[in-house]
Amino acid sequence: MNTLKDCIDRVLTKATHSRPYLFPENTLVDAKLRVTGKTITVTNLGPLNIPPFDVAVGGVRANMPQLYAAAGMISSIGFAATQYGNSADHVIFRTLYNVAERDLVYYQGGNQGTKRVLSAPCMICGLVLPLANLTIDHQRPQSGGELEAVAKVFRTFGLTKEGPKGPKGLLIQAHLRSVNPSLATFGSVAPQPGRAAAAGTSLSERYTLNDQGALLLSFVLAAGEIQKLKTSCMNSIVNLRPACGVCNSSRGNPLKFSP
Protein backbone atom coordinates (compact mmCIF):
# COMPACT_ATOMS: atom_id res chain seq x y z
CA MET A 1 0.00 0.00 0.00
CA ASN A 2 1.69 3.20 -1.17
CA THR A 3 -1.22 5.40 -0.25
CA LEU A 4 -0.70 6.11 3.47
CA LYS A 5 1.73 8.95 2.83
CA ASP A 6 -0.47 9.99 -0.11
CA CYS A 7 -3.45 10.11 2.28
CA ILE A 8 -1.62 12.58 4.50
CA ASP A 9 -0.57 14.74 1.53
CA ARG A 10 -4.05 14.75 0.02
CA VAL A 11 -5.59 15.96 3.27
CA LEU A 12 -2.87 18.57 3.84
CA THR A 13 -3.47 20.13 0.43
CA LYS A 14 -7.12 20.74 1.33
CA ALA A 15 -5.81 23.72 3.31
CA THR A 16 -5.34 26.78 1.08
CA HIS A 17 -3.25 29.82 1.88
CA SER A 18 -6.42 31.72 2.71
CA ARG A 19 -8.35 28.98 4.54
CA PRO A 20 -7.22 26.32 7.02
CA TYR A 21 -8.69 22.81 6.77
CA LEU A 22 -10.39 21.38 9.86
CA PHE A 23 -11.44 17.77 10.43
CA PRO A 24 -12.39 15.66 13.48
CA GLU A 25 -9.90 13.43 15.28
CA ASN A 26 -10.81 9.73 15.51
CA THR A 27 -9.14 6.90 17.35
CA LEU A 28 -9.47 3.19 18.13
CA VAL A 29 -10.49 2.19 21.65
CA ASP A 30 -10.48 -1.61 22.15
CA ALA A 31 -10.19 -1.81 18.33
CA LYS A 32 -13.42 0.19 17.89
CA LEU A 33 -13.71 3.49 16.04
CA ARG A 34 -14.38 6.47 18.35
CA VAL A 35 -14.30 10.27 17.95
CA THR A 36 -12.05 11.98 20.49
CA GLY A 37 -13.86 15.36 20.41
CA LYS A 38 -10.66 17.12 19.30
CA THR A 39 -10.31 18.98 16.00
CA ILE A 40 -7.30 18.67 13.70
CA THR A 41 -6.35 21.95 12.04
CA VAL A 42 -4.14 22.14 8.95
CA THR A 43 -2.70 25.58 8.27
CA ASN A 44 -0.92 26.41 5.03
CA LEU A 45 2.06 28.54 5.98
CA GLY A 46 3.16 29.29 2.42
CA PRO A 47 1.85 31.73 -0.17
CA LEU A 48 0.70 28.87 -2.45
CA ASN A 49 -1.20 25.61 -1.90
CA ILE A 50 2.06 23.73 -1.30
CA PRO A 51 4.12 22.94 1.83
CA PRO A 52 4.95 23.99 4.46
CA PHE A 53 1.84 22.98 6.36
CA ASP A 54 1.35 23.19 10.09
CA VAL A 55 -0.81 20.56 11.78
CA ALA A 56 -2.30 20.98 15.26
CA VAL A 57 -4.53 18.65 17.27
CA GLY A 58 -6.75 20.48 19.73
CA GLY A 59 -4.29 23.40 19.50
CA VAL A 60 -1.16 21.29 20.12
CA ARG A 61 1.36 21.08 17.27
CA ALA A 62 1.67 17.57 15.78
CA ASN A 63 4.94 15.74 15.03
CA MET A 64 4.56 15.31 11.28
CA PRO A 65 8.03 13.86 10.45
CA GLN A 66 7.33 11.01 12.90
CA LEU A 67 3.90 10.50 11.34
CA TYR A 68 5.36 10.28 7.83
CA ALA A 69 7.96 7.77 9.06
CA ALA A 70 5.28 5.52 10.57
CA ALA A 71 3.10 5.82 7.45
CA GLY A 72 6.01 4.77 5.24
CA MET A 73 6.87 1.73 7.36
CA ILE A 74 3.27 0.52 7.52
CA SER A 75 2.93 0.83 3.75
CA SER A 76 6.15 -1.06 3.14
CA ILE A 77 4.85 -4.30 4.65
CA GLY A 78 1.20 -4.23 3.56
CA PHE A 79 -0.27 -6.13 0.62
CA ALA A 80 -3.29 -5.65 -1.57
CA ALA A 81 -5.96 -8.32 -1.03
CA THR A 82 -5.06 -10.03 -4.29
CA GLN A 83 -1.38 -10.16 -3.41
CA TYR A 84 -1.17 -11.61 0.08
CA GLY A 85 -0.63 -15.12 -1.20
CA ASN A 86 2.65 -13.82 -2.58
CA SER A 87 3.82 -12.63 0.83
CA ALA A 88 5.94 -15.78 1.19
CA ASP A 89 8.14 -14.26 -1.52
CA HIS A 90 8.77 -11.25 0.70
CA VAL A 91 12.27 -11.23 2.16
CA ILE A 92 11.07 -10.15 5.63
CA PHE A 93 8.52 -12.97 5.65
CA ARG A 94 11.22 -15.47 4.73
CA THR A 95 13.49 -14.29 7.51
CA LEU A 96 10.79 -14.08 10.18
CA TYR A 97 9.45 -17.55 9.47
CA ASN A 98 12.62 -19.50 8.91
CA VAL A 99 12.05 -20.21 5.22
CA ALA A 100 15.05 -22.27 4.06
CA GLU A 101 16.17 -25.10 1.79
CA ARG A 102 15.87 -28.30 3.85
CA ASP A 103 16.26 -32.01 3.18
CA LEU A 104 12.75 -33.40 3.67
CA VAL A 105 11.79 -37.06 3.67
CA TYR A 106 10.16 -38.33 0.46
CA TYR A 107 9.48 -41.73 -1.08
CA GLN A 108 10.89 -42.09 -4.54
CA GLY A 109 10.72 -45.34 -6.52
CA GLY A 110 9.64 -47.25 -3.40
CA ASN A 111 12.61 -46.08 -1.36
CA GLN A 112 12.76 -43.54 1.41
CA GLY A 113 15.10 -40.68 0.68
CA THR A 114 15.35 -36.95 0.98
CA LYS A 115 14.72 -34.08 -1.38
CA ARG A 116 16.04 -30.55 -0.89
CA VAL A 117 13.06 -28.18 -0.93
CA LEU A 118 12.21 -24.64 0.13
CA SER A 119 10.34 -25.13 3.41
CA ALA A 120 9.20 -23.53 6.66
CA PRO A 121 7.64 -24.66 9.96
CA CYS A 122 3.90 -24.32 10.61
CA MET A 123 3.89 -21.55 13.22
CA ILE A 124 1.17 -23.31 15.21
CA CYS A 125 2.30 -26.98 15.44
CA GLY A 126 5.93 -26.70 14.28
CA LEU A 127 5.73 -29.29 11.46
CA VAL A 128 8.17 -28.45 8.67
CA LEU A 129 6.54 -28.54 5.24
CA PRO A 130 7.46 -27.45 1.74
CA LEU A 131 6.42 -23.83 1.22
CA ALA A 132 3.91 -24.95 -1.40
CA ASN A 133 2.14 -27.14 1.24
CA LEU A 134 1.76 -24.32 3.77
CA THR A 135 -1.21 -21.96 3.92
CA ILE A 136 -1.27 -18.36 5.10
CA ASP A 137 -3.03 -17.80 8.42
CA HIS A 138 -4.54 -14.36 9.16
CA GLN A 139 -3.89 -13.87 12.89
CA ARG A 140 -6.66 -11.28 13.25
CA PRO A 141 -9.54 -13.01 11.44
CA GLN A 142 -10.72 -11.79 8.05
CA SER A 143 -14.31 -11.91 9.26
CA GLY A 144 -14.86 -8.98 11.63
CA GLY A 145 -11.21 -8.56 12.60
CA GLU A 146 -10.33 -5.67 10.30
CA LEU A 147 -9.98 -2.97 12.94
CA GLU A 148 -8.15 -5.42 15.24
CA ALA A 149 -5.70 -5.93 12.36
CA VAL A 150 -5.28 -2.15 12.04
CA ALA A 151 -4.54 -1.91 15.79
CA LYS A 152 -2.13 -4.87 15.57
CA VAL A 153 -0.17 -3.26 12.73
CA PHE A 154 -0.22 0.19 14.37
CA ARG A 155 1.08 -1.43 17.59
CA THR A 156 4.17 -2.76 15.83
CA PHE A 157 5.03 0.81 14.84
CA GLY A 158 4.56 2.34 18.31
CA LEU A 159 1.11 3.81 17.56
CA THR A 160 -0.85 2.14 20.40
CA LYS A 161 -0.86 2.85 24.15
CA GLU A 162 1.02 -0.36 24.86
CA GLY A 163 3.67 -1.71 22.52
CA PRO A 164 4.07 -5.21 21.06
CA LYS A 165 4.66 -8.14 23.44
CA GLY A 166 4.70 -11.03 21.00
CA PRO A 167 7.98 -12.22 19.45
CA LYS A 168 7.13 -11.05 15.95
CA GLY A 169 6.07 -7.52 16.91
CA LEU A 170 9.19 -7.14 19.08
CA LEU A 171 11.45 -8.39 16.28
CA ILE A 172 9.97 -6.04 13.71
CA GLN A 173 10.14 -3.13 16.13
CA ALA A 174 13.78 -3.83 17.06
CA HIS A 175 14.61 -4.06 13.36
CA LEU A 176 12.97 -0.75 12.53
CA ARG A 177 14.52 1.01 15.51
CA SER A 178 18.06 -0.20 14.79
CA VAL A 179 20.46 2.52 13.69
CA ASN A 180 21.01 0.93 10.31
CA PRO A 181 18.07 -1.37 9.59
CA SER A 182 19.16 -4.33 7.54
CA LEU A 183 18.05 -7.93 7.46
CA ALA A 184 21.08 -8.82 9.54
CA THR A 185 19.29 -7.35 12.56
CA PHE A 186 16.29 -9.57 11.94
CA GLY A 187 15.72 -12.83 13.76
CA SER A 188 13.21 -15.59 13.27
CA VAL A 189 10.02 -16.28 15.22
CA ALA A 190 9.93 -19.67 16.94
CA PRO A 191 6.83 -21.79 16.26
CA GLN A 192 4.35 -21.95 19.16
CA PRO A 193 5.20 -25.35 20.67
CA GLY A 194 7.54 -24.73 23.62
CA ARG A 195 7.29 -20.97 23.36
CA ALA A 196 6.45 -19.05 26.55
CA ALA A 197 3.30 -16.90 26.45
CA ALA A 198 3.76 -13.15 26.51
CA ALA A 199 3.20 -11.86 30.04
CA GLY A 200 2.17 -8.57 31.60
CA THR A 201 0.02 -7.19 28.83
CA SER A 202 -3.10 -5.08 28.80
CA LEU A 203 -5.33 -6.25 25.97
CA SER A 204 -7.23 -2.96 25.99
CA GLU A 205 -4.09 -0.77 25.82
CA ARG A 206 -2.66 -2.90 23.02
CA TYR A 207 -5.78 -2.30 20.92
CA THR A 208 -6.17 1.40 21.80
CA LEU A 209 -4.28 4.01 19.75
CA ASN A 210 -1.98 6.66 21.25
CA ASP A 211 -1.98 10.28 20.02
CA GLN A 212 0.20 9.59 16.97
CA GLY A 213 -1.89 6.56 16.05
CA ALA A 214 -5.11 8.59 16.31
CA LEU A 215 -3.59 11.30 14.10
CA LEU A 216 -2.61 8.84 11.37
CA LEU A 217 -6.00 7.09 11.49
CA SER A 218 -7.74 10.49 11.27
CA PHE A 219 -5.78 11.43 8.14
CA VAL A 220 -6.75 8.11 6.53
CA LEU A 221 -10.42 8.70 7.39
CA ALA A 222 -10.28 12.31 6.12
CA ALA A 223 -8.81 11.01 2.87
CA GLY A 224 -11.67 8.47 2.55
CA GLU A 225 -9.26 5.51 2.51
CA ILE A 226 -10.23 3.57 5.65
CA GLN A 227 -11.21 0.48 3.65
CA LYS A 228 -7.80 0.42 1.94
CA LEU A 229 -6.10 0.69 5.33
CA LYS A 230 -8.17 -2.20 6.72
CA THR A 231 -7.31 -4.42 3.75
CA SER A 232 -3.65 -3.49 3.87
CA CYS A 233 -3.37 -4.24 7.62
CA MET A 234 -5.32 -7.51 7.30
CA ASN A 235 -2.79 -8.56 4.66
CA SER A 236 0.27 -7.08 6.35
CA ILE A 237 3.16 -9.38 7.28
CA VAL A 238 2.41 -8.36 10.86
CA ASN A 239 -0.92 -10.22 10.58
CA LEU A 240 0.16 -13.18 8.42
CA ARG A 241 1.97 -16.38 9.32
CA PRO A 242 2.50 -19.75 7.67
CA ALA A 243 0.39 -22.62 9.02
CA CYS A 244 -0.26 -26.17 7.84
CA GLY A 245 -3.71 -26.85 6.38
CA VAL A 246 -4.90 -28.74 9.47
CA CYS A 247 -3.94 -26.00 11.96
CA ASN A 248 -5.26 -23.22 9.74
CA SER A 249 -8.66 -24.81 9.08
CA SER A 250 -9.35 -26.43 12.46
CA ARG A 251 -8.27 -23.70 14.77
CA GLY A 252 -9.73 -20.40 13.61
CA ASN A 253 -8.61 -17.15 15.20
CA PRO A 254 -11.28 -15.77 17.58
CA LEU A 255 -11.81 -11.99 17.78
CA LYS A 256 -10.10 -10.28 20.74
CA PHE A 257 -13.14 -8.07 21.28
CA SER A 258 -16.77 -8.92 20.59
CA PRO A 259 -18.20 -7.03 17.62
Residues that bind Zn ion (CB under 5 A): 122, 124-125, 244, 247
Minimum distance of Zn ion from residue 246's CB (angstroms): 6
Residue 4's closest CA among 176, 229, 159, 154?
A: 229
Closer Cβ to Zn ion, 125 or 255, answer by number: 125
Minimum distance of Zn ion from residue 126's CB (angstroms): 7
Euclidean distance between CA atoms 70 and 165, whole angstroms: 19
Closer Cβ to Zn ion, 40 or 124, answer by number: 124
Minimum distance of Zn ion from residue 248's CB (angstroms): 7
Closer Cβ to Zn ion, 137 or 146, answer by number: 137
Minimum distance of Zn ion from residue 242's CB (angstroms): 9
**What is the SS3 assignment for 114?**
strand
Closer Cβ to Zn ion, 105 or 184, answer by number: 105
Closer Cβ to Zn ion, 177 or 251, answer by number: 251
Residue 31's closest CA among 239, 175, 192?
A: 239
Please say whether the beta carbons of 48 and 12 come within 8 A: no
**Alpha carbon distances (Å) from 45 to 22, 62, 157, 253:** 15, 15, 29, 48
Closer Cβ to Zn ion, 98 or 218, answer by number: 98
The type of residue at 133 is N
Minimum distance of Zn ion from residue 102's CB (angstroms): 16
**Alpha carbon distances (Å) from 113 to 106, 107, 126, 130, 184:** 5, 6, 22, 15, 34
Minimum distance of Zn ion from residue 15's CB (angstroms): 51
Cis peptide before 52 (omega within 30 of 0): yes
